[in-house]
Amino acid sequence: MFGYALRRTLSAIPTLVLVAISVFVLLRVVPGDPALLILGDAASAESLASLRRSMGLDLPLWQQFSHWIARVLVGDFGTAITNGQPVLPLIIDRFSVTAVIVLLSVLLASLVAVPLGMVAAWRQNSATDLAVIAGSTLLLSVPSFWLGLMLLMLFGVWLQWLPVVGYVGFGENAAIALTFIIMPVVTLTLIEIGQLTRMARAATIDVLRLDYVAHARAKGLSEGVVLFRHVLPNAFAPTLSLIGVILGNLLGGIAVIETVFTLPGLGRLLVDAIFQRDYPVVQGCMLFIAAIYIVVNLLIDLAYPWFDPRVAVE
């Protein structure tokens, strides 16, 4: 068990390094001269050369990379070209908004979707099952940003229950902050329920067919015990993997939701930086999100043996 945890943790390191290299190559090497970007076309040759020297751009590429990665490791992601702020604190500040929405919605969606999918599978081909499949397929087909716009139209514009534009941090006023995140969280929760319910249902159907479920029933256990004790852990394992994937996709695509609801989150920071060609910020955001994604998947894999002890053996 410990061996598995250690192996799995260590195996995340090369992935992280490769991710760092690809981010470096993509956003530092491909776009061209960062000094030119900072100083603009009008800059003189001398000032460009001196900036290059001070940024280490005259060094061989591998040295540039090793210097960059050494700084990244101590939390120095560089400074934003547009406003000169250090990148990492900026990212962390924006991430706190994003993280709340993403984690809340994944949690809520799991709490709804897993029981829903299990019940649908347990009553396979019944009216309940068909309703669940139809509902989740519909949810799966609605783009999150459009659902967000529709909610905004209904509760913001027409009913005027919730604010349409702006954001107040939880630090300032928790009650008002809540009114700003209700709609984004509900939007994402609904979308994820679509995916997760289908997965939970499919996984449960696979498990229900296995002999150990019949064995549990043959011992005289009640359906409740059979479902909770024997089916749930085994059916939850594949669902857990999907939750990891969903978290990643959410983090990657969160910008659209933040745009709809005008939230100052990480996604918005990234998109704005792309428009302003602020590569240090783009680079920092991508590295940060990819790293979070890798860590989330690592945590999920570490939790996996709890549901399926076989994976720890290999």
Partner 1 sequence: MSPLLEISGLRIATSGRLPVVDDVSLEIARSEVLAVVGESGSGKTATARATIGLLPPGLHVSSGSIRFDGREIAGLPHAELRSLRGPGIGMVFQEPMTSLNPALTIGGQLTEALALHGVSRAEQRERALAMLTRVGIQDPAQCLGAFPHEFSGGMRQRIMLASAMLLRPKLLIADEPTTALDTLTQADVLDLMVDLTREHGTAVMLITHNLGLVARYAQRAVVMQSGRVVETGDAAALLTTPRTLYTRALVEAMPRRMDARPPVPPSPVIEARGLTVAFGGRRRFFTLGRAVTAVDQVDLTVHQGETVALVGGSGSGKTTLGRALLRLVNPTAGEIRFQGADITRLTGQQLVPFRRACQIVFQDPFSSLDPRLRVQAIVAEPLRLMPDRSLDQVARMLAAVGLTGFERRFPHELSGGQRQRVAIARALIRNPAFVVADEPVSALDMTIQKQILALLRQLQRERGFACLFVSHDLAAVEEVADRVVVMQSGRIVEAGLRDAVFDRPQHAYTQALLAASPRLPTLTG
Partner 2 sequence: MVFNANMMIGGGLVGTISGVAALATVWTPFSPTRVSLSSRFQAPSSLHWLGTDEFGRDVLSRLMVGAETSIGVALTTTVVALVLGMAIGLTAGYLRGWVDRVLMSLNDTLLAFPGILFAMGLLAVIGPSKWGIVLALGLAYAPTVARVVRGSVLSLREREFIEASRALGNGAFYTLIRHIVPNTVSPMIVLATSLFGLVILSESALSFLGLGVPPPAPTWGNMLASARPHLERAPWLAIAPGTMIALCLLGANLLGDGLRDLLDPRSTR
**Contacting positions for partner 2 (CB under 8 A):** 14-15, 18-19, 22-23, 26-27, 30-31, 137-138, 140-143, 145-146, 149-150, 152-153, 156-157, 164, 198-199, 202, 205-206, 248-249, 251-253, 255-256, 259-260, 270-271, 273-275, 277, 279, 282, 286, 289-290, 293-294
Q: Does 127 bind partner 1 (CB under 8 A)?
A: no
Q: Does 214 bind partner 1 (CB under 8 A)?
A: yes
Which one of partner 2, partner 1, none is in contact with 227 (Cβ closer than 5 to 8 A by kind)?
none
Tokens of 123: 């009553």
Neighbours of 268 (CB within 10 A): 21
Which one of partner 1, partner 2, none is in contact with 290 (Cβ closer than 5 to 8 A by kind)?
partner 2
Which one of partner 2, partner 1, none is in contact with 289 (Cβ closer than 5 to 8 A by kind)?
partner 2
Neighbours of 180 (CB within 10 A): 21
Tokens of 34: 């960062």
Instruction: List, in sequence order, the alpha helices (H) in the chain.
Output: 2-24, 34-39, 45-55, 61-73, 87-122, 127-141, 144-151, 174-208, 211-218, 223-225, 232-260, 266-275, 279-307
Q: What is the CA radius of gyration of the chain?
A: 24
Q: Does 52 bind partner 1 (CB under 8 A)?
A: no
Q: Does 313 bind partner 1 (CB under 8 A)?
A: yes
Q: Does 210 bind partner 1 (CB under 8 A)?
A: yes
3-state class (DSSP) for residue 237: helix
Q: Does 28 bind partner 1 (CB under 8 A)?
A: no
Tokens of 180: 């700003």
Tokens of 74: 């101590």
Contact positions vs partner 1 (CB under 8 A): 3, 6-7, 10, 124-125, 210-212, 214-223, 225, 229-230, 233-234, 237, 307-310, 313
